[in-house]
Structure 1
Amino acid sequence: MRPALKAATTRTGNSPQFHFIGGKGGVGKTTCAAAFAIVAAKRGARVLVASTDPAPSLGDALTVRLSMSPRRVEAAFRRPGSLHAVEIDASAVLRRWIAERRATLEKIALEGTWLDRDDVDTLLNLSLPGIDEVAALLEIARFARTGRYDRIVVDTAPTGHTLRMLSMPETLLAVARVFDRMREKHRMMVEALRGRRDAAPEDRLIDDLASEAEELGALLTDGRRTHLSWVTLPEPMAVAETADALELLADRGIPVQQIVVNHVTPPPVPRTCRHCNARRTLEGRAVRALPALGRAFVVARDREPRGLKALAAIGRDLESDSVLPLVRSSRTSWVAGSSGHRVAAGDVAADRTRLLMFGGKGGVGKTTCAAAAAIAAAVQRPHRQVLLISTDPAHSLGDVLGVAVGDDAVVVRGAPPNLLVREMNAGRVLDTMRGKYAAAIDRLFDRLGGGGAFDIGHDRSVMHGLIDLAPPGLDELAAVVEITAEVSRPGDGLTVIDTAPTGHALRLLEMPALIHDWIKALMAILLKYQPVVGLGELGTLLVGLSQGLGRLRELLSDEARTQFIIVTRAAALPRLESERLLRRLRRLGINVPLVIANAVGRGTCTVCTKAAAAERREVAVLARITGAAGDGRALIVTAARVPPPQSAAALRAWQRTGWRYHQDA
């Protein structure tokens, strides 16, 4: 056996400080990350602010066009202060990483498995789903090694994917261990022939991976080098998700130093604004439930903060010793007025629809809209089975419905009996898949005799290592497998999907094609070795998965049976992201019949009046966008409520009375 993988040496000296900004989608992580970065640059630091979100909006916030190469943001900073910004393209990073090491990776695979060069070339050319977070961390580490920055501020993806990214050093170390296992047989042969063991480039690559993993793990748990701020809204659902996230981070030894409470409602002028008074009552109760950590409060503006000047003002709030304004109001609820024709349940989910997906930027209200639509569809067709399922790793369906929901589909109190609700546990789904494929691999090797091209013990061990390595970033694969199972059932059942935020929702829609490519490659390899190993159960599993994926891909391209509803807010950042999402969905051939501008409406105070005017302008832009294609797409405007609807009955009432078609003034 080879000695344990080389331990990492902790880098010091010119290593930059890191500041990770995490939180639920839509709470203002990007705004806060940019604001923190600007403040540091103004104080003379050389700062890089980097977005790891697959649907980034950092460029939108800074009002500059960004790419995967850091761009200097021009401003008057105290020397030697500077600000650079980058939106990391994880897929491109991974392709570059493989290209730079391709020859070494090929040699490890050729010497460590029974695959030939054609097999290895095929597999290395395939996209590797589920490891975006590994690639993002590797890229951040690469930027740090340049020595160009004193501080790196990281604008992360929403909660579930941030938690996954922060655990990626373990995945990277697992990759190194599998590669090490592949090399073991070759090392033993070389040592037997030469009488000694020399370090080869392949061994150095494995050591580098292990060292990188150890260093990243040490960095993320070192409170002296890494600061983690968690952004939340002063609302019950956001606060509950924050508490859960902080508990998970603590379990992993990753400390959170600060909670940023964003978009706090200021005292209204005049004081009679019912919207603001109800909001402030709700916010006061929510904030009292926050964990006892250092806090910063950012007061809501009457317009969305974009550009350096507005973001610098947010930065001053983040740096000040602010407190939550005292709440004196007793008002606890408020509902915005509505106009336009009401939206019938059948308009959202037609009789022929089998798959109804809700997606958009984090925090826009996808879950609330998906739940309301599913309840309405179940009420309208009491004999039709409706499944409402969340594929977001940071679930909030249970919070919206006011009940506990898990991985087993259940009937929810107050909802129609033909509606089942489930929060998918991707880990459990993937573990089940791993178990099936591991058992099939075992039976395949059990059929093999010794000798020939196979080293049974070694090859079995390597294959198990590869199966165990299936990265925890494969939530979208788990979702595809489960959705495929649902739509393959006989009957006219409706599946309503509450997706993860934009970038990961798109990854879900692209996943069937990626998996299909992998199945084709694996089947080709199995067929090549069929005279020796046969197809067996592994081939049967792959064929079954391929057939199910074929049905799902056919369904996704069927405009009558599949619909994707984009949920957004009447504000610039979510609207810009929704425009990009709409273009991507068109290219994928996904039907988008409706766009929902969610939670529109403000009160009567000075701030609300200005904010309402900004909302009207954004709704007008959304109306132009949705009608531009001339294909009958409609814009729905839903009425804001304080507090938001949080039970099956409240969601049903909100959909019936608060969902209206937009009508031009």
Structure 2
Amino acid sequence: MGKPPEYLENSNLRLLVFGGKGGTGKTTMSSAAAVHLAKTSPLKKIMIISTDPAHSLSHGFGVKLDNRNTRLTLNNNQKSNLYARQLDAQELADQFKIENGDIMKKIADRGTYFDQKDITEFFELSLPGMDEVMAILEVARLISENIFDVLILDTAPTGHTLRMLNLPVQMEKWIQVMDMMLEKHRYMAAQFTRRKYVKDECDFFLEGLTQKIQQVNNLLKDRQITRFIPVMIPESMSIHETQKLVASLLEMHIPVKEIIVNHMAKQNACEFCTARKHQQTDPILQIQKKFSRFDLIFVENFQDEIKGYNDLSLLGDYLTGDLNAFCRKPGQKKHATMIQEIDPAMNVSNLDIDPAIQFIIVGGKGGVGKTTVASSIGLYLSGLFQDKKILLFSTDPAHSLSDSLDMKIGNCMTHVFSNLWAMEMNADQLFKDFKDSYKKDIHSMFERFFVKGMDIKFDRQVMAGLFSMAPPGLDEIMAIDTIMDLKQKNEFDMIIIDSSPTGHLLRFLELPELVRQWLKTLFNLLIKYEGIVKLTRSAQKALDLSKNTRRIQENLTDSKKTAFIMVVIPEAMGLLESENLYTYLIQAKIPLNHVFINMVLPDTDCPVCVIRQKSQKFYIEKIYRKFSKMHISPIPLFPHEIHGKTNLEELINNLFKPD
């Protein structure tokens, strides 16, 4: 390793954002940075915040964290200058509604023909991505109030992080709609009183919110105090996703100087380790070529999980040049006394999918191999059910199906093999097309219905802007709705859904009811104008979507139609997220059919592998006990990447044994 990372040495930096593909080690790297900065700058207050809905910060530090600022205690029971928090953005959003809901309703009441009931319903449902934007607003507040000297963000996987970083722009559009509502009141008040309009609490609220959003934009783009540090691993999927991430960050003018390349294999006498090292040669060359303008920080794959303050402190020392830092770590005895051989009664189960199943959802923590498992299941079932047309479909904003299948998929139906097709749905484009159609209807309506006066002009602007106030997830619901239509038209017999990582998957599974209510409210508002002109396309689409969203809910919870497959890796964070996901699935009455334990190390005498193997066996046993009523299948860790039909068939041969 060369010089220490700039993000650990530059004392002017106040905001560090770590992001990247799931499973690359974002939480570990952000936590190590927090510990190192706290240790080397004892007079500064350092705060690390997790904005990922599937929080793993608690596990990384080995302490319980919540939405409060928690001051961490060192091993000698001394209070440190390091604080941690797992941001509950929904709690912040709820508080925002309580504090500002009346003002927002007042603005709408002044600016539209909607009655009070409509306004109340609309604003209870239509804060756009507010749970996510509150995370950014909270960070801006902490920075501006100088509560902490340095803030470090541990973010969600790539697609959702980019959406969060782009939310200030979306929020500005939402504020513009609110301002249009208020503009009508300003105009009418000035006309009625024939005096200059005097600002009141509604104006001050919008001005304050605009100032906060602008502050966020300025903060994210400030090269003097902000750095985004992408974390990646030397694999093709991670390289591709990091390219998209970096391109988007540069487009948004968010400063990137360094990229961490994690999980570098070490060469030793072990054939498996040597094969892994050899497999990384080409990806590393690609990384050096594609990211040559950035400083690359290569981090080796350590033999044991990094957990707790001491481990994170050693990692910080390693990153700043002490390559022998982990040699000072006490002997690796963790789990040794707890390991038992896995009970032979814990049988490995073959994939048991009823031919009548219509939907298969593959879910789990980021980086556990969901896309690989979904792709292999697609290939396997296409051979098993040769009389069925099968679709492999991605709902994850950071699409990886193209990489997994080693062919261009994109936003169109792509024939993969025999009776298998694939599609990476562009939900944003679907939503944009819907909004464009809606706006055309609105403008057409007001052009045909002529009434003299500015109030109609203002109402047209407000009605046209309503879609900027849509709840989060409407775009994804529209994507799933498209797939439901394909199913209803019998174009496909079985659809396999490669889903978003756990935290966002949980929110997606919760979304249908919220979206259905919002669409219903929008439909009712549109119908009020039906006496003026029929909004045939938009109103009908809103009504159809509302009905179809209920159909989505019914299908997801029907065990005769839907199977949920969980992918987990034998590590503490992986187990924790799988337990949280399982709890939610039970509450939502979504049937869990099968658990795949991915990346299981093969038997070996290698001293490095043996230590990791012992740790894995401990968690494998816990997984078997936790999901004892489920079908469980371990998937071996291969020395090479799994992508393309040949590799996927190799995995299938190891995984699915013929009856």
TM-score (normalised: structure 1): 0.88
**Cα distance 1:385–1:660, how it changes in 2: closer, same or farther (>3 A)?**
closer
Q: Can you list the C-alpha shifts for 1:211-257, whole angstroms capped at 9, x where unaligned?
A: 22222112111121101111111222212221221122112212212
Q: Does 1:281 align with 2:278?
A: yes
Alignment partners' CA distance in 2, 1:542 and 1:176: 23
Contact 1:178 1:466 in 2 (8 A): yes
Q: Does 1:29 align with 2:33?
A: no
Q: Can you list the C-alpha shifts for 1:51-97, whole angstroms capped at 9, x where unaligned?
A: 11111111111111111111111127999961111111222211211
Q: Does 1:204 align with 2:201?
A: no
Alignment partners' CA distance in 1, 2:442 and 2:347: 58
Q: Can you list the C-alpha shifts for 1:4-27, whole angstroms capped at 9, x where unaligned?
A: xxxxxxxxxx99810000110111
- Residue in 1 that maps onto 2:35: 38
Quote how far apart the aligned CAs of 1:31 are: 1.0
- Residue in 2 that maps onto 1:497: 497
**Cα distance 1:318–1:195, how it changes in 2: closer, same or farther (>3 A)?**
same
Q: Secondary structure at the match of 2:280?
A: helix
**Cα distance 1:163–1:374, how it changes in 2: closer, same or farther (>3 A)?**
same
Q: Does 1:371 align with 2:378?
A: no
Q: Can you list the C-alpha shifts for 1:513-564, whole angstroms capped at 9, x where unaligned?
A: 1112213333444556655666744432222112222222221121121011
**Cα distance 1:21–1:660, how it changes in 2: closer, same or farther (>3 A)?**
farther
Q: Which amino acid aligns with 2:247?
A: E
Quote how far apart the aligned CAs of 1:49 are: 0.5
Alignment partners' CA distance in 2, 1:319 and 1:459: 59
- Residue in 2 that maps onto 1:5: none
Contact 1:265 1:299 in 2 (8 A): yes
Contact 1:46 1:80 in 2 (8 A): no
Q: Secondary structure at the match of 1:450?
A: coil
The correspondence for 2:408, drawn from 404, 407, 413, is 404
- Residue in 2 that maps onto 1:54: 53
Q: Secondary structure at the match of 2:73?
A: coil
Q: Which amino acid aligns with 1:53?
A: D
**Cα distance 1:547–1:176, how it changes in 2: closer, same or farther (>3 A)?**
closer
**Cα distance 1:253–1:527, how it changes in 2: closer, same or farther (>3 A)?**
closer
Contact 2:363 2:499 in 1 (8 A): yes
Q: Secondary structure at the match of 2:559?
A: coil
Write the mapping of 1:347-366 to structure 2, written as runs, cut at 5 A.
347-366=351-370
Write the mapping of 1:541-580 to structure 2, written as runs, cut at 5 A.
541-580=541-580
Alignment partners' CA distance in 2, 1:306 and 1:475: 37
Alignment partners' CA distance in 2, 1:403 and 1:487: 24
**Cα distance 1:81–1:576, how it changes in 2: closer, same or farther (>3 A)?**
closer
Contact 1:72 1:83 in 2 (8 A): yes
Contact 2:566 2:594 in 1 (8 A): yes
Q: Which amino acid aligns with 1:428?
A: Q
Quote how far apart the aligned CAs of 1:348 are: 4.4
Alignment partners' CA distance in 2, 1:567 and 1:542: 35
**Cα distance 1:612–1:76, how it changes in 2: closer, same or farther (>3 A)?**
closer
Contact 2:376 2:648 in 1 (8 A): yes
Q: Please identify, of 191-200 and 102-111, the stretch whose mean Cα deviation from structure 2 is larger.
A: 191-200
Q: Please identify, of 69-78 and 391-400, the stretch whose mean Cα deviation from structure 2 is larger.
A: 69-78
Alignment partners' CA distance in 2, 1:147 and 1:400: 45
**Cα distance 1:296–1:111, how it changes in 2: closer, same or farther (>3 A)?**
same
Contact 2:349 2:632 in 1 (8 A): no
Q: Secondary structure at the match of 1:594?
A: strand
- Residue in 2 that maps onto 1:96: 95
Quote how far apart the aligned CAs of 1:321 are: 7.8
- Residue in 2 that maps onto 1:328: none
Pairwise CA RMSD of aligned residues?
A: 2.7
Write the mapping of 1:73-222 to structure 2, written as runs, cut at 5 A.
73-75=72-74, 82-126=81-125, 128=127, 130-192=129-191, 193-222=193-222
Alignment partners' CA distance in 2, 1:436 and 1:315: 53
Contact 2:362 2:499 in 1 (8 A): yes
- Residue in 1 that maps onto 2:485: 485
Contact 2:474 2:515 in 1 (8 A): no
- Residue in 2 that maps onto 1:653: 650
Alignment partners' CA distance in 2, 1:492 and 1:18: 48
Quote how far apart the aligned CAs of 1:660 are: 7.1
Alignment partners' CA distance in 2, 1:20 and 1:531: 52
Alignment partners' CA distance in 2, 1:444 and 1:187: 24
**Cα distance 1:252–1:492, how it changes in 2: closer, same or farther (>3 A)?**
closer
Alignment partners' CA distance in 2, 1:534 and 1:106: 27
Structure 1: unaligned runs, 5 residues or longer: 1-13, 324-338
Q: Does 1:299 align with 2:300?
A: yes
Contact 2:430 2:478 in 1 (8 A): yes
Contact 2:478 2:545 in 1 (8 A): no
**Cα distance 1:645–1:95, how it changes in 2: closer, same or farther (>3 A)?**
same
- Residue in 1 that maps onto 2:636: 639
Q: Please identify, of 639-648 and 125-134, the stretch whose mean Cα deviation from structure 2 is larger.
A: 125-134
State the identity as a percent.
Answer: 33
**Cα distance 1:247–1:212, how it changes in 2: closer, same or farther (>3 A)?**
same
Q: Which amino acid aligns with 1:309?
A: N
Contact 2:633 2:655 in 1 (8 A): no
Quote how far apart the aligned CAs of 1:581 are: 0.4
Alignment partners' CA distance in 1, 2:511 and 2:118: 22
Alignment partners' CA distance in 1, 2:283 and 2:534: 60
Q: Secondary structure at the match of 1:288?
A: helix
Contact 1:16 1:144 in 2 (8 A): no
**Cα distance 1:227–1:79, how it changes in 2: closer, same or farther (>3 A)?**
farther
Alignment partners' CA distance in 1, 2:600 and 2:272: 12
Q: Can you list the C-alpha shifts for 1:180-219, whole angstroms capped at 9, x where unaligned?
A: 2222121122223242122222222222222222221121
Structure 2: unaligned runs, 5 residues or longer: 1-10, 325-343
Alignment partners' CA distance in 2, 1:660 and 1:567: 19
Q: Secondary structure at the match of 1:289?
A: helix
Contact 2:71 2:80 in 1 (8 A): no
Alignment partners' CA distance in 2, 1:472 and 1:243: 26
**Cα distance 1:50–1:495, how it changes in 2: closer, same or farther (>3 A)?**
same
Alignment partners' CA distance in 2, 1:643 and 1:131: 41
Q: Does 1:319 align with 2:316?
A: no
Quote how far apart the aligned CAs of 1:343 are: 5.7
Alignment partners' CA distance in 1, 2:644 and 2:534: 54
Contact 2:232 2:260 in 1 (8 A): yes
**Cα distance 1:457–1:31, how it changes in 2: closer, same or farther (>3 A)?**
same
Q: Which amino acid aligns with 1:244?
A: K
Quote how far apart the aligned CAs of 1:613 are: 1.1
Q: Secondary structure at the match of 2:415?
A: coil
Q: Can you list the C-alpha shifts for 1:479-508, whole angstroms capped at 9, x where unaligned?
A: 333333233333761110100101111122
TM-score (normalised: structure 2): 0.88
Write the mapping of 1:370-519 to structure 2, written as runs, cut at 5 A.
370-412=374-416, 415-416=417-418, 418-446=419-447, 448-450=449-451, 455-468=455-468, 470=470, 474-490=474-490, 493-519=493-519
Q: Secondary structure at the match of 1:455?
A: helix
Q: Please identify, of 595-604 and 382-391, the stretch whose mean Cα deviation from structure 2 is larger.
A: 595-604
Alignment partners' CA distance in 2, 1:191 and 1:127: 30
Q: What is the aligned residue count?
A: 620
Q: Can you list the C-alpha shifts for 1:553-606, whole angstroms capped at 9, x where unaligned?
A: 221121121011110101111111101000001101100011110121144321
Contact 2:129 2:167 in 1 (8 A): no
Q: Can you list the C-alpha shifts for 1:272-296, whole angstroms capped at 9, x where unaligned?
A: x111111111223222222122222
Quote how far apart the aligned CAs of 1:341 are: 7.1
Contact 1:637 1:659 in 2 (8 A): no
Quote how far apart the aligned CAs of 1:635 are: 1.2
Alignment partners' CA distance in 1, 2:548 and 2:415: 27
Alignment partners' CA distance in 2, 1:659 and 1:275: 23
Alignment partners' CA distance in 2, 1:343 and 1:298: 36
Write the mapping of 1:206-285 to structure 2, written as runs, cut at 5 A.
206-268=206-268, 271=269, 273-285=270-282
Q: Which amino acid aligns with 1:589?
A: K
Q: Which amino acid aligns with 1:46?
A: K
